[in-house]
Amino acid sequence: MNNERMTNQQSAISNQQSLARLADLFAGGHAALMPYFPLGFPDVETSLDVITAMSKAGAAAFEIGLSFSDPLADGPVIQHATQVALEQGITVKRSLEMIAELRSRGVTQPFLVMGYFNPMLAYGLERFVDDAAAAGADGFIVPDLPPEEAGDLDRLCRARQLGLIYFLAPTSTNDRLKLVAEKARGFIYLVSLTGVTGARTQLSDRLGEFVGRIRRITSTPIAIGFGVSTPEQARAVSHLADGVIVGSALVQIVDRAEDKPQAAAQFIRELKGIMR
């Protein structure tokens, strides 16, 4: 058997495991904590250490951030972090190499690669999906790619049994809810508010109603992000959803800390402690 055939077989086995790994996230009877962190911030080695530390602290899965110069869905904290990463020389290729490095360090949690569509397209979409899967990714989150325009990526992910996560927002129509429920593979990303990412002092008092609308039309797991900032907010969200996503608050804590991996790990332990 030649090396190419062996690689293809190994990739197929890995891809078959990806959707199962995502399903397992929500099989434990409690909400999964899924932190977002951008690769390359504040530098390559520190970001690897931060994610590794959060893995050991008990994060259930990771949204692995690909930096982009025009992050339309992100607020000032993540915009700053991704700009720093770009200035440090991070690229899509280097990011995929870092995912493989995290796997070689023993980080086993599912990885959802979160990034914007233009860098993926510039890299070559099929090549990007194949290289990301080979590096150890389990799926993709693409904020600027609505399901109506995601046909090519959707087909690639379905052929390789990878997750593809779509967004719903408080402004989503019933038709959009049904479309996302039909297409989502892994879970549905529920945006808790209108606007960009960023820490908020309080969550919408209509969040439970919004979750109820989605629950009535699909059994696909729901993860809530955008604006989840404090342990108390994480606990509240964990009572509504299957997953809790924290990004800006984590990035801000890491940015301000001297011992960045330790600070990230401590924040994860605090969130998990109060979510139980």
154 carries an active-site annotation: no
Distance between CA atoms of residues 167 and 176, nearest Å: 10
28 Cβ partners below 8 Å, 6+ apart?
none
How far is the CA of 60 from the CAs of 83, 131, 164, 268, in angstroms?
Answer: 27, 23, 18, 10
Contact in structure between 114 and 141 (CB atoms under 8 Å): yes
Dihedral of the alpha carbons of 40, 115, 190, 196, in degrees to the nearest 10: 70
Strands 139-141 and 188-191: unpaired
Catalytic pick from 63, 101, 131, 242? 63
63 carries an active-site annotation: yes
Catalytic pick from 49, 74, 131, 242? 74
Give Dmax over CA atoms of the chain in angstroms.
Answer: 59
Number of Cβ atoms within 10 Å of the Cβ of 146: 13
Distance between CA atoms of residues 25 and 68, nearest Å: 28
Beta bridge partners of 36: 63
Q: Which residues are catalytic?
A: 63, 74
